[in-house]
């Protein structure tokens, strides 16, 4: 994918603060972090999203998520973390990636989302059950 930012990061054409890499994934700091240490775990091979990525690679990313969580606990004194993986309208960069956002006391997380569109939980349950 010639015009993919993350493919360019993998090829070294765009610099990144790389935390970890192996044959399958690269982990680097997000350029616009939501919390300190916000990082992205991405496959070296270009996949679009959760429907596109193969299960073996996805499971490897799951394994690395746990290792990176341990790292931020140890090195940044994180006391939690939030993972996010966006698809479709939620996804800006169209190369599969897993966000790891270390969490801290008073990290302002509760203010990240506007909840004004949220409907009654029972109404949503009726549609999903
Ligand atoms: P998405 O909304 O696609 O899940 O998130 C894409 C993420 O990639 C965003 O958090 C954004 O800050 C990050 N990002 C976009 N371009 C770059 C870049 O060139 N370098 C790095 N390190 N992160 C990027
Ligand atoms: Zn790509």
Contact 50 CB / ligand 1 (< 6 Å): no
Q: What residues contact residue 45 under an 8 Å CB cut-off, 6+ apart?
A: 24, 57
Report how far ligand 1's centroid is from the alpha carbon of 5 (Å).
Answer: 9
- 40-50 residue pLDDT tens: 999 999 999 99
Kindly indicate the confidence band of residue 2, based on its pLDDT and cuts at 50, 70 and 90.
confident
Domains of the chain listed by start with CATH number: 5-128 (3.30.428.10)
Whether residue 35 has its Cβ less than 6 Å from ligand 1: no
| pTM listed for this prediction | 0.95
92 CB less than 6 Å from ligand 1?
A: yes
| pLDDT single digits (tens) 54-112 | 999 999 999 999 999 999 999 999 999 999 999 999 999 999 999 999 999 999 888 77
Are 24 and 43 in contact by the 8 Å Cβ rule? The answer is yes
């Amino acid at each position: 994918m010639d015009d993919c930012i993350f493919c360019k990061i993998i090829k070294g054409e765009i610099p990144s603060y790389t935390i970890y890499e192996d044959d399958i994934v690269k982990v680097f700091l997000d350029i616009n972090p939501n919390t300190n240490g916000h990082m992205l775990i991405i496959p070296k091979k270009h996949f679009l999203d959760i429907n596109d990525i193969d299960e073996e690679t996805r499971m490897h990313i799951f394994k690395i998520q746990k290792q990176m969580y341990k790292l931020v606990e140890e090195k940044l004194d994180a006391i939690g973390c939030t993972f996010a993986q966006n698809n479709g309208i939620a996804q800006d960069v169209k190369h599969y990636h897993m966000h790891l956002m270390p969490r801290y006391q008073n990290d302002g997380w509760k203010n990240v989302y506007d909840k004004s569109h949220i409907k009654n939980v029972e109404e949503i349950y009726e549609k999903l059950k």
